[in-house]
Chain A
Amino acid sequence: MCVWCERYAGGYERWYFNPANYARKLYKIRKDEGPELQPNPVVAGGMALIDRGFVEALDRKDHEAVAKMRHDVEQLAWTVHFGQVVTLEDILKVIDIIYPIALMTCACRRSMLGTPNEENFTCMGMGPGMYKWERWPETYRGGVQFLTPDEARDAVTKMNKRGLVQTLFTFGTPYIGGICNCDYPDCSAIRTTVDYGIQFLWKGHHVARVDNELCNGCASCIHRCQFKALSFSASQNKAYIDLFQCFGCGLCASECPQDAITMVERTSFPALANVW
């Protein structure tokens, strides 16, 4: 089972359907707690926590040192700021729970591509934090664009169509404050997770299953995977998904003209139930 659901679902089907995890009191309470729970921009993206020492340890295959550093970084990230991949269907349900929702500029694409603000409104913030964003646009670069729930559903659906993966992010776990729309290699969370094996981004509650009877080998789905889980089997002339590597975003499934890819509950596979 998903550890976040075990801790924070509060009787709901998934932890991110529990309205308590979007509650204003969680946002405010942090000021009274220890420094480890304060919003920490250094943790954002997980990148600033990884120094040259980590990469050098990886490079020389010092597994012990890597495991220690990975553990420390993950513990901090999971306490303060981490994400989980969520299907479009689930994100649309989340949009029904929380208000306000606003588009804001993506910090990852700004730092990796220098994307100008006007082209960079791919991040979505939720809840009371957005009023702060609105008040000090110079700090948050580009400000915010508040959306009605219908506009938010439309925006997230368009970004999904465009090939961006939907993820939910905590800001002081379990407070959920952001819907990110991510892609490899410019999303810091995907990259840190996929390239370094640091679980900054958790896999979602589904996995994508290819029905080989229905797949006609058109390869329309191939470009959609941002997690190196989807490839093309030349010997079978079919899409091939590594189910242990699949993050369950659903982008491949929504692109398939044959409806040959189905999103299946992760926990329905005994061997995948604990692969997050």
Chain B
Amino acid sequence: MLPTITVDDKKCHDPLACRKCLLICPTHVLGLGAKVGPKKYREIDPNQFIVAGVRFEKCTGCMECVNVCPKSAIQVSF
């Protein structure tokens, strides 16, 4: 069964600095992107980075990311 993984970007401010969820996931489901897309010749503000369940078909539903998130920003449902 495929999960729905949602990350509340308003709660998750600087995932590049935190990255707890990225490192705890046993199947490397979560990934990091930028809300604004690539910007030519400009640095992207760290708070423009977002986490998403990009490889969600490998999600086992272990909920470790949900539990590790200091901002309670991640929800996983099946």
Binding site for B on A (CB under 8 A): 41, 47, 52, 55-56, 58-59, 110-114, 136, 138-139, 141, 185-186, 191, 195
Contact = CB atoms under 8 A, between A and B. Distances in A.
A114 B51 CA distance: 10
A56 B2 contact: yes
Nearest to A191: B55
A195 B42 contact: no
Given A114-B16, A195-B58, 19 more contacts: A41-B37, A47-B54, A59-B2, A59-B57, A112-B22, A112-B28, A113-B19, A113-B22, A113-B23, A113-B28, A114-B22, A114-B23, A114-B32, A136-B41, A138-B41, A139-B40, A139-B42, A185-B28, A195-B55
Given A112-B22, A195-B55, A138 B43 contact: yes
Contacts of B15: 114
A112 B40 contact: no
A113 to B, nearest CB: 6
A56 B57 CA distance: 9
A127 B28 CA distance: 32
A59 B38 CA distance: 31
A112 B32 contact: yes
Interface residues of B, number: 24
Contacts of A185: 27-28, 55
Contacts of B30: 112
A55 B40 CA distance: 31
Contacts of A41: 37-38
Contacts of B38: 41, 139
B20 to A, nearest CB: 9
A112 B19 CA distance: 9
B42 A138 contact: yes
A47 B54 CA distance: 8
Nearest to B33: A111
Interface string B28-54: 101111000111111100000000001
Contacts of A59: 2, 57
A112 B31 contact: yes
A132 to B, nearest CB: 9
- Of A59, A111, A138, A141, most B-chain CB atoms within 10 Å: A111
A141 B45 CA distance: 12
Interface in B2-28: 2, 15-16, 19, 22-23, 27-28
* A-B pairs, 5 with minimum CB distance: A114-B19, A138-B43, A185-B28, A41-B38, A111-B32
Nearest to B4: A52
A56 B2 CA distance: 8
